[in-house]
Chain A
Amino acid sequence: KAGVTQTPRYLIKTRGQQVTLSCSPISGHRSVSWYQQTPGQGLQFLFEYFSETQRNKGNFPGRFSGRQFSNSRSEMNVSTLELGDSALYLCASSLEQRGPYNEQFFGPGTRLTVL
């Protein structure tokens, strides 16, 4: 079974631009979560989608948004990029995040550099 894939793997943008990152979950997984990883703040939860609905959200500004499609693929968008948005963005998929915990499987991440 193929793992979680994220595209692109690397991205360079300039301040003020916007960016869209993509995540394809493991086949059959309907829950997709996004995380931001930086040296200063570590790994922080952004949001979680299930069946095209955002169910859970971390403490990030509204510039960070996402969506999920009917095939469970998810995209994350960051508008008006700031230098501090430079990070590794990780996507994780699982069967379900309600009730007993189901293991989240992580993709390799997209490394975003904002200049």
Chain B
Amino acid sequence: DIQMTQSPSSLLASTGDRVTITCRASQSIRTYLNWYQQKAGKAPKLLIYATSSLQRGVPSRFSGGGSGTDFTLTISSLQPEDFATYYCQQSYTTPQTFGQGTKLEIK
């Protein structure tokens, strides 16, 4: 299975900050990388698919990049509703696998 490793595991930030979360795959996954946001007690919500395509309705302050093994999720200016846990997911091979999550908390 492809292992997905996110860093950091947790992140303290303030409203208005620019933050970047990294996801590394154990082998190349080309650009088959998706990002999800999960708030406490809720299901994950798709933010970005295929590395950099913003899901409909997701604010443009979210962006994704990368290819091969290294990927990023960037939030350009944190809003209060962005404090949540973020997960990456590779869809290059079966079984699709997820990162362990990055918890974004208010400083």
Query: Do A and B interact?
Result: no
Q: Give B residues with C-beta under 8 Å from A.
A: none
